[in-house]
Homo-oligomer: A and B are copies of this chain.
Amino acid sequence: MKKAAVCTIGDEILIGQIIDTNSSHIAQSLNEIGIRVATMVSIGDERKEIMGKLEELLKTNDLVITTGGLGPTKDDITKHALGELFGSTGQYEHTEQAEIVRELLVRRGVPLFESNLAQAYVPTGCEVLVNRLGTAPGLVFRFPATRFSHQPTLYSLPGVPFEALGLLPAVMKDICQHQALEPIYHKTWATFGIAESTLAEMIAAWEDHLPQDTKLAYLPNTLNGVRLRLSCYGDTAEHAAERLEAEFEKIRPILGTALYGKDQDTLPGVLAKELKAKGVSVCTAESCTCGRVAHLLGSIPGASDYLMGATIAYSNAVKINDLKVPATLIEQEGAVSQACVEAMAQGAMEKYGTTYAVATSGIAGPGGGSPEKPVGLVWIAVATRLQNGGSRVVSKSFSFGGDRERNMERFAANALNLLRLELLNAR
């Protein structure tokens, strides 16, 4: 199995100014094509340190991928260090990248400083991955066997996350073309509503009997639930797909309606597709989630096809005036109650004239909790307009506890999931 190291270059990571997200995405991509990431390292913008560390990583890895240290300021000395390490005799202007640099600067209204134009200069002997999203290109250094005992390749990418991610497919393609990789195949299924530990117990018997070359990974996420990724090695793509699918069929009945998608599916994405396919519409009435449910529904391009509107009913006055929740109901049951959240959903559905309405009312914290209604408690309701002109409302409560931001995320994700289950029912 090929071995890789991922290295970020830049003081901004070491002083904790920036959280490094690039390394994780790169590791994920390498993992998917069957390359093991042996280590990740962050180092500062210091020529000697860069050269020393990269030399060390190249000695013990087949691949080294760096991000950062390619900007136009004088601090960014990576490119020169890389050239020296590789034995380049100098730098030359890369025509295609230079054109992109000029275009980008003109569009941004930035003067054509020499430091910016220098971005398109590359060390001799390396290959270039043109960067259309920014000024600094990706660089590929293929070290000859005379330099190290093996022939490692070093990829240097810009540090700006969307530029690094933009170049990642080209890097992966290049790796697949140049390395003799044992083929690896993956299949991912997305579930929501079952905790990771419970899920693990539910499918333990199946997991224990997986073939040796087939591996399962749990990928949990607050917003999108737990993904199950099944991987197997060394086979034809078709055969592997069949095998993975067959294994999956064994646990599908256990997962039941918790299963909502596969591969890159997200909960909002699946909902958006379903809502569009059905030609139905939705609105939200949100108290504790404060717009987060609508925001998630609206995060998918084309959301205006199905998302009609949302009312953030933080105050009881809005619940009463806008959503027609009876004042006496709030007095008797409280705003965080099954009755109130159901009335909110009903009211929102009427108000916006939608097919579905999602409502939330809970205590996100840190204040506002009581022994009967502690921080972390939420009531969620989904109203559905029926074909016969009537309507139905389902509701559910959850008790999480924990901090405000996390509660709001969990509340919103579970509200989306309840909507998903209602859409399933309507099939």
Q: Once the chains bind, are A298 and B302 in contact (CB under 8 Å)?
A: no
Interface residue? A295 (CB, 8 A)? yes
Q: Which of A312-340 contact B (CB under 8 A)?
A: 312-315, 317-318, 322
What is the interface size of chain A, counting residues whose CB is below 8 A from a CB of the partner?
A: 66
Report A282 CB to chain B, min CB distance, Å: 10
B314 touches A312 (CB 8 A): no
Complex Cα spacing A366 to B300, Å: 10
- How far apart sit A18 and B222, CA to CA, in the bound complex (Å)? 12
Contact A41 B39 (CB under 8 A): yes
A30 contacts across to B, CB distance below 8 A: 16
**Residue A242 lies at the interface, judged by CB distance under 8 Å to chain B:** no
Partner of A315 from the list B28, B309, B312 (CB cut-off 8 Å) is B309
**Chain B residues within 8 Å of A297, by CB:** 290
Tell me the complex Cα distance, A13–B254, Å.
29
Contact residues, A255-307 vs B (CB, 8 A): 284, 286, 290-295, 297-299, 301-304, 307
Q: Which of A334-378 contact B (CB under 8 A)?
A: 352, 365-367
Q: Which residues of B contact A33 (CB under 8 A)?
A: none
Q: Do A314 and B298 have beta carbons less than 8 Å apart? A: yes
Q: Is there a chain B Cβ closer than 8 Å to A15's Cβ? A: yes
| Distance to closest chain B CB from A157 (angstroms) | 15
* Chain B residues within an 8 Å CB radius of A299: 290, 404-405, 408
Decide yes or no whether A179 CB sits under 8 A from chain B. Answer: no
> A215 CB to closest chain B CB, in angstroms?
10
Q: Once the chains bind, are A318 and B39 in contact (CB under 8 Å)?
A: no
Q: List which A38-89 residues lie within 8 A (CB) of chain B.
A: 38-44, 53
Assess whether A37 is in contact with B25, with CB atoms less than 8 Å apart: no
Q: Does A31 contact B (CB under 8 A)?
A: yes
Residues of chain B with a CB closer than 8 A to A284's CB: 312
- Bound complex: CA A36 to CA B28 (Å): 30
A135 within 8 A of B: no
B322 with A317: CB separation less than 8 A = no
User: Please, which residues of chain B bring their CB within 8 A of the CB of A317?
Assistant: 308-309
Q: Which chain B positions have C-beta within 8 A of A314?
A: 298, 303-304, 307-310
Cβ proximity bits A6-22 to B, threshold 8 Å, 1 near / 0 not: 00000001111111110
- B-side contacts of A23, CB under 8 Å: 16, 20, 42
**Chain B proximity of A247: nearest CB distance (Å):** 20
**Complex alpha-carbon distance, A21 and B18, angstroms:** 9
8 Å CB contacts to B: which residues of A140-184?
162
Output the least CB separation between A188 and chain B (Å).
12
One digit per residue, 1 when the CB lies within 8 angstroms of any chain B CB and 0 when it does not, for chain A 372-406 equals 00000000000000000000000000000001110
* Contacting residues, chain B, for A365 (C-beta < 8 A): 301
- Per a CB cutoff under 8 Å, which of B17, B31, B162, B307 touches A16? B31
- Contact indicator B302/A313 (Cβ below 8 Å): no
Measured between beta carbons, the chain B residues less than 8 angstroms from A14 are 27, 36-40
A24 interface residue per 8 A CB criterion: yes
| Residue A418 is within 8 A (CB to CB) of chain B in the complex | no
- List B contacts of A122 (CB < 8 A): none
CA distance A76 to B322 in the complex (A): 53
A24 to B182, CA, bound (A): 35
Q: A162 touches which one: B13, B29, B43, B403 (CB < 8 A)?
A: B403
Q: Which of A36, A42, A297, A352 counts the most chain B CB atoms within 10 A?
A: A42
What 10 additional pairs, Cβ within 8 angstroms, besides A291-B293, A294-B312?
A14-B40, A17-B28, A17-B217, A17-B219, A19-B24, A40-B41, A290-B298, A291-B298, A291-B312, A308-B318
30 contacts between A and B (CB under 8 A): A14-B27, A15-B217, A16-B25, A16-B29, A16-B31, A19-B20, A19-B21, A20-B20, A20-B24, A20-B40, A23-B42, A39-B42, A286-B291, A290-B297, A290-B298, A290-B303, A290-B307, A291-B291, A291-B292, A292-B295, A299-B404, A299-B405, A301-B365, A301-B366, A302-B367, A307-B314, A308-B314, A309-B314, A310-B314, A318-B352
